[in-house]
Amino acid sequence: MAKGYRPAWVGQQRYEWFYLYGAVEPLSGRSLLWLLPDWTKESAQFFLEQLRQQVAGEIALVWDRAGSHRAMAEKMPEGITPVFLPRASPELNPIEQVWKALRKELANRIFEGLEELQEAVMEALRKFWEHPEVLISMTAYSWWRAALETRQA
């Protein structure tokens, strides 16, 4: 190939996506994770209603300060209280450790389509469902444990 020659692109780039919604209870390792087609108020409302059905009692839902999170917090189901973290502090949010582990597991792979990616995500999440102690070790920060244990006492 001659210097300065740009090869022709032999395929068409296309993008497909889905959104992974998640919540983790750090002391028990219980989780609720849903693959949904979009990030809209309706999808978020659906996820929050599923969370409300799965978890009895009061729920403190830790969210970052993304504009969409603040907007969706306006219509929280009864018994769910949003707890907003300081700006630019994802390291304080337990669910970020799950996203980090997923990115590591799925990085540098090419998927033929959305369905193959969804299957890979589900397979990667399986270890969390089968071994909740993995989630506990990733998300039960000492300050979260202390706060939750104090509240439960």
Instruction: Classify burial at 62, counting beta carbons within 10 Å of its beta carbon; exposed 0-12, middle 13-18, buried 19 or more.
Output: middle
Weakest mean pLDDT among 65-79, 86-100, 123-137:
65-79
Using the predicted structure, report yes or no on whether residue 145 has a pLDDT greater than 90: no
**Which residue, 42, 24, 151, is CA-closest to 96?**
24
Q: Which residue has the higher pLDDT, 142 or 66?
A: 142
Q: How much is the pLDDT for 2? A: 61
Q: What is the percentage of the chain residues whose pLDDT exceeds 70?
A: 93
Residues 59, 34: Cα–Cα separation, whole Å: 18
pTM of the model: 0.82
Residue range 77-105, pLDDT digits in tens: 999 998 888 888 888 889 999 999 999 99
* 33: β partners: 22
Using the predicted structure, report yes or no on whether residue 1 has a pLDDT greater than 60: no
Phi, psi at 24, each rounded to 5°: -130, 140
DSSP one-letter code for 39 = -
Q: How much is the pLDDT for 51? A: 96
Q: How many CA atoms lie within 13 A of 7 on its CB side?
A: 4
